[in-house]
Amino acid sequence: AQHTRRHHPVQEGEVFNTRYQVLHKLGCGTFATVWLCQDMRKKKQVAVKVLKSREGFAETAQDEVAFLRCVSCMKKKDLAGENIVCLLDDFRMIGENGFHVCLVFEVLGPSIRCLMGNYTAQGLPLPFVKKSLQQVLAGLHFLHKCCRIIHADIKPENILLCGCSKRLQRLLMDTLDCDQGTELRLKAAGGDLGNQLEESDLMSIEVKIADLGSACWTYKPFSKEIQTQPYRALEVLLGLDYGTPADIWSTACLAFEMATGERLFDPQPGKYFSRDDDHVACIIELLGRIPPEIVFSWNKSTKFFSRPGALLRLSRLFPRSLPDILADRHGWTPREAAAFAAFLLPALHYAPERRASAAQSLRHAWIAAP
Ligand code: ATP
Ligand code: MG
Ligand code: MG
């Protein structure tokens, strides 16, 4: 029912809710477009997320408001959670395509995806990767423990920069373009933002977790498919129960991608197998055989496995270890590779209950070391 999901057509200069005047588009996703607006009452700029109309979407949006309100409430109580985007206001708007729920946020900078897409193929400087991962993990710890929320869509697009230096802002403005009002993109392919970036530009940056549009409560039963494919945890892929550990899996994928410039898992469909089949195969190639007691304790596993350990549609696997990939493909020294792998592997544990928590990951030597 793709055609029933509609964006609200927005004109620059238009005023939302008699208060927010549209300046230009900041970004868009599957469920919404986000606009830079002037808050005419408070005389400051804000980001307004206009959700697509459609009954199902309106419901999701109501949830998004509920999650964000819970975050705001717990922020005040716990004096933590500064790494989660802040909801300032929300309202509803009737347009030609029906009802749209609108969320008003503080204005943040471009996403990690945007920064990476325009950086070198080698990934981002490690001190920056560690610093931003610390903030993502601190944000997740707050979401998981204080708010009892699973974010369920951790990926580079949903981690936004804030506190860019004036120099970096100018650099980003010069190199990036609001390409046809869609996403921030490089003006010319292969632009040289990477060469112009200095480590100090990145060191002053903070990051915030955005987009609670796919989130769910840890204590409520839920059945919807969560997460964006390459970042999807094994248990979600197999259709099993999931919880906060699913966010940690995605964070490990994010960490690898930030550090290397390449996706940890980049599953593709083939002639005789689906993207999910390939995804399970990629996981096994990297992390080893899934123990039969795990595979067969799970009901949907017959979709992928013919007998313990054997995939239904993919027979030839090419095992490769994480340290080898880091050394061979990305030129890391064995020592660096081993240290990073030691951080990632506990976050990719097959059994969700044995996977490292956000707090445990934060205490890991790799991330704590500058
Ligand atoms: P998804 O497809 O990931 O579910 P979505 O439709 O739920 O996305 P968001 O991720 O909330 O929408 O926002 C889409 C994009 O808009 C972000 O990736 C980001 O580039 C931009 N954006 C969102 N919020 C802000 C903000 N507060 N300040 C600046 N830009 C923002
Ligand atoms: Mg998003
Ligand atoms: Mg979303």
Collapsing DSSP states into helix, strand and coil, what is residue 47? strand
Taking only the tens place, the pLDDT of each residue in 281-294 is: 899 999 998 887 77
Q: How far is CA 161 from the centre of its chain?
A: 13
How many other CB atoms are found less than 10 A from the CB of residue 194?
Answer: 17
Q: Which residues of 253-282 are buried (b: 16+ CB within 10 A; e: fewer)?
A: bbbbbbbbbeebbebeeeeebeebbbbbbb
Which listed ligand is nearest to 32 at the C-alpha? 1
* Greater model confidence, 21 or 292: 21
Burial of 128 (0-12, 13-18, 19+ CB in 10 A): buried
- Note the ligand closest to the C-alpha atom of 27: 1
Burial of 93-105, coded b for 16+ CB within 10 Å and e otherwise, reads: beeeebbbbbbbb
Q: Give residue 162 CA to ligand 3 midpoint distance, Å.
A: 19
The arithmetic mean of pLDDT across residues 86-110, rounded, is 90
DSSP state letters, 67-127? HHHHHHHHHHHHS--TTBPPEEEEEEEEETTEEEEEEEE-----BHHHHHHTS-TT-S-HH
| 3-class DSSP assignment, residue 238 | coil
Q: How far is the CA of 225 from the centre of ligand 3 (A)?
A: 13
pTM (two decimals): 0.90
| Confidence band, pLDDT 50/70/90 cuts, at residue 349 | very high
Phi, psi of 206 (to 5 degrees): -110, 160
Which ligand places an atom closest to the C-alpha of 28? 1
Q: Whose CA is nearest to atom 3 of ligand 1?
A: 29
Ligand 1 centre to CA of 369 (Å) is 31
Return the closest-CA partner of residue 171 out of 202, 133, 130. Answer: 202
Indicate the residue type of 364. H
Q: Over the stretch 139-164, which tens digit does the pLDDT of each residue have?
A: 999 999 999 999 999 999 999 998 77
Residues 199-217 have a mean pLDDT of 88
Write down the catalytic residue from 63, 89, 153, 276. 153
Ligand 1: which atom is nearest the Cα of residue 51?
A: 6
86 C-beta closer than 6 A to ligand 1: no
Q: Flag whether pLDDT at 191 surpasses 60.
A: no
Of 10, 24, 28, 34, the one to substitute when testing ligand 1's pocket (max ligand atoms within 8 A of C-beta) is 34
Provide CB contacts within 8 A for 237, sequence distance 6+. Answer: 276, 279, 280, 283
* Ligand 1 atom closest to residue 106's alpha carbon, by position in its atom list: 27
Q: Is the CB of 367 under 6 A from ligand 1?
A: no
Q: With a 6 A CB cut-off, is 32 part of the ligand 1 pocket?
A: yes
Give the angle 115-131-81 at the CA atoms, nearest 5°: 100
Answer whether 208 contacts ligand 1 (Cβ < 6 A): no
Which atom of ligand 1 is the closest one to the Cα of 157? 18
- Sequence-distant contacts of 260-266: CB under 8 A, at least 24 apart: 260/122, 260/123, 260/326, 260/329, 260/330, 261/116, 261/119, 261/120, 261/121, 261/122, 261/123, 261/124, 262/121, 262/123, 262/329, 262/330, 263/230, 264/230, 265/230, 266/230
Identify the pLDDT of residue 182: 37
Dump pLDDT digits (tens) for 80-96. 889 999 999 999 998 88
Report the C-alpha gap between 148 and 244 in whole angstroms: 9
Joined together, the tokens standing for residue 172 give 């980003």
> How far apart are the CA of 63 and the centre of ligand 2, in A?
15
Ligand 2 centre and the CA of 29: distance in Å?
Answer: 5
Residue 153 designated active-site: yes
Q: How far apart are CA 322 and CA 338, in angstroms?
A: 8
Q: Is 105 in the pocket of ligand 1 (CB under 6 A)?
A: yes
Reported ipTM exceeds the 0.90 cut: yes
Neighbours of ion ligand 2 (CB under 5 A): 29, 158, 211
Per-residue pLDDT at 319? 85
| Pocket mutation for ligand 1, best pick of 157, 178, 183 (most atoms within 8 Å of C-beta) | 157
Please state, in angstroms and rounded to a whole number, the distance separating the CA atoms of residues 141 and 209. Answer: 12
Could you tell me which residue, 63 or 175, shows the higher pLDDT?
63
More confident call, 163 vs 77: 77
* Atom of ligand 1 minimally distant from the CA of 85: 27
Answer whether 109's CB lies under 8 Å from 164's CB: yes
Closest-CA residue, ligand 1 atom 20, reads 27
Mean pLDDT lowest among 234-248, 256-270, 314-328: 314-328
CA 14 to chain centre: 30
Which ligand is the nearest neighbour of the Cα of 52?
A: 1
